[in-house]
Amino acid sequence: MIAQAAARRLCLSAFIFSLIAVGTLLSAGDLHAQQNVAAFYKDKQMKFIIRSATGGGYDLVSRLVASHITRHIPGNPSMIPVNMPGGGGLLAANYMYEIAPRDGTHLTLLGEALPMDYTLDFTPGLKADLGKFNWIGTVSASNTLTYMWHTSPTKTIEDAKKRETLIGATGAGSTPSWLPIIYNNVFGTKFKIISGYKNAGEVKLAMERGEVEGYGANPWVSLNATSPELVREKKFNIIVQVGAQKERDLPDVPLFSELKADTEEGQAVVAFVSQSLSIGRAIATTPDAPADRLVALRKAFNVTMADPLFLADAKKLGVDVNPVDDVALTKLMDALFATPADIKAKVKAALPPR
């Protein structure tokens, strides 16, 4: 018995020693990986590819993240914002996939509709395989809004069924250009799309001049950040919000999913669009980014979202921070990309041609 007890003690001691040894090895391995990442990023100049021109919500949030995240990346690289407008965000996405180095030095903020377009194979100009992108996170899960200038006679979706309403939009593949057409096809509204504006800021000026009456799609976080005074003065009349649930500041604005379509096909379209736009504006890096650098970028994003300096700047700019991390974002993307073929066919039938 004494010999057996001694043997058990010896085995237990050996097991504990092995755990300590493995933990030491893992810690040493983690430290070595961090050192490798820091050595790579030291003195590097990273780039944040911005899918729009200067002055809009995409530009604002992209530059905000770019100005803070590098403090939390090992090696503390620098980062420069690069505006690359064109094709409703297609130029930037294609650049990230086809041209940007796949080494973890480039980030971008994708448009909220691009994952849906990819899922539907609906934009021939999109060369990027979004299924191979590496997702970093989302700064704010924010509903997409359709709104009118306060002088427009169109105050509700019901009003839009009765009269032609001019809607300003950017590129043909952008959300502001096709979401009102979804309303037309599913609910029988009479929105007329006026395309060609560079960003939401230009559409806002056009609304003030009376050229158009409204804007088809703009995230609540972006509208608050770029036009806080106009929001406070209630210059915008928000008629629909698209997302999983209502914004806490917009309890009286109907959700897209609450509006009832006349057909089963229409309801399928409403459900799909609501799911896809709930993803928001996702931050990504290129395919094939080295695993250790990808871990570092994702960790840096998460730390940045809780950084007091970042949060203070976000507050000054009117950017609501309600982040989604890479794990949750990847799950959302995977679910969207796995949409059944019959649902995709119904949605494609309701969308305008690209």
Who has greater pLDDT, 176 or 153? 153
For residues 261 and 256, what is the distance between their CA atoms, to the nearest angstrom?
Answer: 10
Who has greater pLDDT, 141 or 72? 72
The string over 314-331, giving b where at least 16 C-beta atoms fall within 10 Å of a residue's C-beta and e elsewhere, is: beeebbbbebbbbeebbe
> Which regions of 249-340 does DSSP assign to beta strands (E)?
282-285, 324-325
**Residue-wise pLDDT tens digits, 83-101:** 999 887 899 999 999 999 9
Instruction: Answer for the pair 217, 176: CB distance below 8 angstroms, yes or no.
Output: yes
Q: Is 195 exposed, middle or buried (0-12, 13-18, 19+ CB in 10 A)?
A: middle
Region of poorest pLDDT, from 222-226, 274-278, 297-301: 222-226
DSSP, residue by residue, 117-167 = HHHHT--TT----GGGSEEEEESB---EEEEEETT-S--SHHHHHHS-EEE
Backbone angles phi, psi at 79, to 5 degrees: -145, 130
The domains located in the chain, with CATH, are 52-141+283-341 (3.40.190.150), 144-277 (3.40.190.10)
How high is the pLDDT of residue 213?
98
Instruction: Answer for the pair 146, 219: CB distance below 8 angstroms, yes or no.
Output: no
Enumerate residues 6+ apart whose C-beta is below 8 A from 253. 145, 238, 239, 240, 241, 246, 247
How high is the pLDDT of residue 173?
63
For range 63-79, the mean pLDDT: 97
For residues 166 and 189, what is the distance between their CA atoms, to the nearest angstrom?
Answer: 12
* 125 CB neighbour count, 10 Å cutoff: 16
Q: Is the pLDDT of residue 23 over 80?
A: no
How high is the pLDDT of residue 15?
47
Q: Which of 34-43, 71-80, 331-340 has the highest mean pLDDT?
A: 71-80
H helix intervals, 188-242: 200-209, 220-226, 228-232
H-helix or E-strand spanning residue 298: helix 291-305
For range 34-38, the mean pLDDT: 88
Backbone angles phi, psi at 197, to 5 degrees: -80, 150
